[in-house]
């Protein structure tokens, strides 16, 4: 199916605008993403993550071709959103725990079996959430973000989306990562497997992560197993020095060990 979808959506928007097959192909695209057959980003053999541009372009086409309509919301006030991206629904065979209380998953997001979504949380179109991941209250999984297996996104964690430009790689959180409360990961940053982000760590494309263990700087990604905590460094210039001003700087203080595993383990009874 993917080659057929890729060929169809590789055309210019002007060609797609008048194509009577577009609604049916858009539905096939959403279903393929939801099943995990198509992804907005893929990991290459060298470990690098790269955007799948045609998928992101196809998602954007859906926004351009949609007007804002109302969606029923039970006995609550209706939703108002783009016609071709309604909220996603689940059935018992999906084995997704969508706990009552205000969470929402948009169509075109992959949510695997064993995922737990605590309210309120939001998963946007194009996102990929692998099996057995916990998405805690007030957490965001942005458009096209890639979340690995057995990840814990703690309360208030914000995983940014990168839908545009289409060649920009989304944020990636690899398998078994622990993301602490109120963390933010944005602008295509990659957090490698089994890393730990302590509460309040913020990572962006411009962030320099200081690795105190190896005495080096990290750009664009946190290495596997690293434990990152919020830190600070002196701001430059006489004004900052005279006032003792500091800039936020995340720091790797250790690499994961048995003690870290115990501190970040998910309670199996909660599943």
What's the rounded Cα separation, in Å, for the pair 181 and 253?
18
CA angle 158, 164, 167 (to 5 degrees): 110
181-198: pLDDT as tens digits? 999 999 999 999 999 999
pLDDT at 14 over 80: no
Residue 227: strand pairing partners: 196, 254
Kindly report the backbone phi and psi dihedral angles of residue 190, in degrees, each rounded to the nearest multiple of 5, phi listed first: -115, 125
Averaged pLDDT score across all residues of the chain: 94
| pLDDT score at 150 | 97
Q: Which of 66, 55, 57 is nearest to 23 (CA)?
A: 66
**pLDDT recorded at residue 270:** 59
- The rounded distance, in Å, linking the Cα atoms of 247 and 158 is 21
CATH topology for the 85-257 domain: UDP N-Acetylglucosamine Acyltransferase; domain 1 (2.160.10)
Q: What is the pLDDT of residues 168-179, one digit of tens each?
A: 999 999 999 999
Average pLDDT on 70-84 reads 89
H or E segment to which residue 65 belongs: none
Cα 72 from Cα 70, distance rounded (Å): 7
**What pLDDT, on the 0 to 100 scale, is given for residue 267?**
56
pLDDT at 258 (0 to 100): 76
User: Using CA atoms, how far apart are residues 186 and 192, in angstroms rounded to an integer?
Assistant: 14
How does residue 17 score in pLDDT terms, banded at 50, 70 and 90?
confident
pLDDT digits (tens, 9 = 90+) for 225-267: 999 999 999 999 999 999 999 999 999 999 998 777 767 765 5
Please give the structure tokens belonging to residue 46.
Answer: 């060298």
């Amino acid at each position: 199916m993917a080659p057929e979808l890729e060929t169809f959506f590789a055309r210019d928007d002007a060609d797609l605008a008048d194509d009577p097959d577009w609604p049916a192909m858009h539905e096939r695209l959403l279903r393929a993403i939801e099943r995990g057959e198509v992804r907005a980003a893929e990991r290459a053999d060298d470990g690098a993550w790269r955007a799948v541009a045609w998928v992101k372009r196809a998602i954007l086409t859906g926004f351009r071709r949609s007007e804002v309509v109302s969606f029923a919301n039970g006995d609550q006030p209706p939703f108002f959103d783009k016609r071709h991206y309604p909220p996603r629904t689940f059935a018992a065979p999906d084995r997704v725990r969508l706990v009552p209380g205000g969470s929402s998953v948009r169509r075109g997001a992959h949510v695997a079996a064993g995922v737990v979504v605590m309210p309120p949380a939001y998963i946007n179109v194009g996102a990929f959430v692998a099996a057995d991941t916990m998405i805690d209250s007030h957490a965001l999984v942005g458009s096209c973000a890639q979340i690995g297996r057995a990840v814990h996104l703690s309360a208030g964690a914000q995983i940014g989306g990168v839908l545009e430009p289409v060649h920009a790689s989304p944020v990636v959180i690899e398998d078994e990562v622990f993301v602490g409360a109120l963390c933010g990961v944005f602008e295509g940053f990659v957090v490698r497997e089994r890393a730990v982000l302590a509460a309040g760590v913020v990572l962006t494309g411009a962030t320099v992560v200081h690795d105190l263990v190896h005495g080096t700087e990290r750009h664009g990604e946190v290495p596997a197993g690293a434990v990152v905590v919020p830190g600070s460094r002196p701001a430059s210039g006489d004004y900052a020095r005279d006032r003792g001003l500091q800039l936020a700087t995340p720091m790797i203080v250790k690499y994961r060990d048995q003690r870290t595993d115990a501190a970040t383990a998910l309670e199996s009874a909660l599943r």
